[in-house]
Amino acid sequence: MKNKDIGIIGMGVMGKNLAVNIANHGYKVSVFNRSYNFTFKKLVNEPIKNIFPYRSVKDFISSLCIPRCILLMIQSGTPIDDMIKKILPYLNKNDVIIDGGNSFYIDSIRRYNVLKEKSIHFLGVGISGGEEGALKGPSIMPGGNKEAYKIVSPIFKKIAAKYKDTACVKYIGSDGSGHYVKMVHNGIEYSDMQLISESYTLLKYLIGMDNLEISDTFKKWNSGELSSYLIEITSNIFCKKDDKNHFIIDNILDVASNKGTGKWTAQNSLELQIPCSILTESVFCRYLSSLKANRMIASTILSGPKLFIVKDSKKEEIIEDIRRALYLGKIISYAQGFSLMKKASEYYNWKLKFFDIAKIFRSGCIIRAKLLNEIVFSYSENNDLVDLLFTSNFKKIINLYTSSLRNIVILSIKNGISIPIFTNVLSYYDAYRTVNSSANLIQAQRDYFGSHTYERIDQIGSFHTNWLDK
């Protein structure tokens, strides 16, 4: 019977939780999995209201209302292309294929164009919030065919996270724009996590706090301007113990994994020539963490300064410096991410609405934070902002908090504590506010060895000098 509202292919954690979320809102959901895995077997043997499992692609697609809407929640890359090929013979004109995974936006552009020629609608949808968000309400970033979005938008609006009764979903733009925004979201996520981790390092080694004190500090920070999902869960992490009454954090190997989306953001910033140095350095930090064996060797043969814990009389002052530096770092990280999206919007002619994107990020997603309200306000006044750092409120905070960032960078260098992102934030800030940089020497060098020419500040045009002529 063709009465199911939407079909989902892929019954991993995200796929199943989205199916349950949609079903809980009164929609009938057909589900299919490439393999007869544990989750799928459980759905067959222990049915969930409004969820209907199918063993064959043909039966699965035949169960759907027309136009058919099929959400793919499977591994990105080749598996997506293979599944599209598998289901295409059963689809009709104006049916909708939705890729809800972490696909590379260039792949989404290609799929959008290929399916358009076949009169099949395609949506590349960024979904953020992890397994809990998928179940209770994610942040949703749909890009692709606008008519297709109109078909599925009632479902998306029902299942999305809500911020003061506003659904955190909005049509982003054509072809791969939805997955692009999700990619940049993940780049900001990388830098946010690294900034928080470096703050933890400073609290632990510079201030001498134990886990419960660190937990309390993050809990306190979360009640103010730093309020965010990542600060909240960090507070919870530091007080969690295992069944042996040991703090779990102390037994986690310090090697950070990644799924590639941060790397894509870094690569794209290079391609579009936007200096997202904080986001890019955060990716390198994860790579460096994976060199565990090398780091263990280096710790025994490469020397550094002796570590001195801050004196009690100075501790509260330095803790406040760390808090301010963390907030400043978050602001500049978000500013770099939005600058990258601005350039991509121009390059791909997406006409992104940054006001809407910031609103989507306010609930459900991993980088949701109080400071997004200020970003929403800034873009509500002007979608073509040159840079978020130039807005009146952020400008005041940056100028006020910079001295705190300098203090902790200086202290960390003196004590041999690695804080690459805080250091990068300060370096980027100082470079960005420098009127006359050293790039004039680079241009002279390029002209010297390669006759690449240079521009002058006192004359118009391109110039070349015979540097060997005495």
Q: Summarize pLDDT for 336-356 with one digit per residue, the tens.
A: 999 999 999 999 999 999 999
- Domain 6-175, CATH: 3.40.50.720
Contact call for residues 149 and 201 (beta carbons, < 8 A): no
Contact call for residues 245 and 303 (beta carbons, < 8 A): no
> 323 a known binding residue?
no
> 287 a known binding residue?
no
Q: What does the longest C-alpha to C-alpha distance in the chain come to?
A: 89
**Mean pLDDT on 357-376:** 96
**Mean pLDDT on 276-288:** 96
Residue 25, both tokens: 């809102």
**pLDDT given for residue 47 in this prediction:** 83
For residues 297 and 423, give the distance between their C-alpha atoms in angstroms, rounded to a whole number: 24
Contact call for residues 30 and 10 (beta carbons, < 8 A): no
Pairing type for strands 121-128 and 139-144 reads antiparallel
Q: What is the DSSP string of 103-168?
A: --HHHHHHHHHHHHHTT-EEEEEEEESHHHHHHH--EEEEEE-HHHHHHHHHHHHHHS-EETTEES
> 121 a known binding residue?
no
**pLDDT given for residue 1 in this prediction:** 66
* pLDDT tens digits along 19-58: 999 999 999 999 999 887 767 777 877 888 999 999 899 9
pLDDT band with cut points at 50, 70 and 90 for residue 317: very high
Does residue 222 register a pLDDT over 80?
Answer: yes
Q: What percent of the chain has pLDDT over 90?
A: 93
For residues 113 and 117, give the distance between their C-alpha atoms in angstroms, rounded to a whole number: 7
For residues 155 and 135, give the distance between their C-alpha atoms in angstroms, rounded to a whole number: 14
**Mean pLDDT on 99-123:** 97
> 205 a known binding residue?
no
- Which residues face 141 on adjacent strands? 126
Helix (H) or strand (E) holding 6: strand 6-9
Q: Where are the domains of the chain?
A: 6-175, 182-432
pLDDT band with cut points at 50, 70 and 90 for residue 461: very high
Q: Tokens 């990258």 — which residue?
A: 340
pTM over 0.75: yes
> 452 a known binding residue?
yes
* pLDDT tens digits along 241-253: 999 999 999 999 9
**Mean pLDDT on 173-196:** 97
**pLDDT given for residue 67 in this prediction:** 95
232 noted as active-site residue: no
Angle (nearest 5°) at CA 135 between 133 and 137 = 50
Higher-pLDDT residue of 45, 79 = 79
**pLDDT given for residue 128 in this prediction:** 95
How long is the chain? 470
pLDDT band with cut points at 50, 70 and 90 for residue 60: very high
For residues 97 and 211, give the distance between their C-alpha atoms in angstroms, rounded to a whole number: 47
Pairing type for strands 69-72 and 6-9 reads parallel
Catalytic residue among 16, 28, 182, 342: 182
**pLDDT given for residue 459 in this prediction:** 96
**pLDDT given for residue 40 in this prediction:** 74
Residue 295, both tokens: 């780091």
Helix (H) or strand (E) holding 234: helix 229-237
For residues 33 and 48, give the distance between their C-alpha atoms in angstroms, rounded to a whole number: 16
**pLDDT given for residue 258 in this prediction:** 85
Pairing type for strands 162-163 and 166-167 reads antiparallel
**pLDDT given for residue 431 in this prediction:** 97
Hey, what CATH topology would domain 182-432 get? N-(1-d-carboxylethyl)-l-norvaline Dehydrogenase; domain 2 (1.10.1040)
CA-nearest of 183, 121, 110, 109 to 152 is 121
**pLDDT given for residue 2 in this prediction:** 80
Contact call for residues 419 and 409 (beta carbons, < 8 A): yes
189 noted as active-site residue: yes
> 446 a known binding residue?
yes
**Mean pLDDT on 145-160:** 96
Does residue 304 register a pLDDT over 70?
Answer: yes
**pLDDT given for residue 122 in this prediction:** 98
**pLDDT given for residue 261 in this prediction:** 87
Catalytic residue among 189, 198, 281, 374: 189
**pLDDT given for residue 44 in this prediction:** 75
Pairing type for strands 69-72 and 166-167 reads unpaired
Contact call for residues 90 and 105 (beta carbons, < 8 A): no
**pLDDT given for residue 403 in this prediction:** 98
> 190 a known binding residue?
yes
Does residue 13 register a pLDDT over 80?
Answer: yes
Does residue 327 register a pLDDT over 90?
Answer: yes
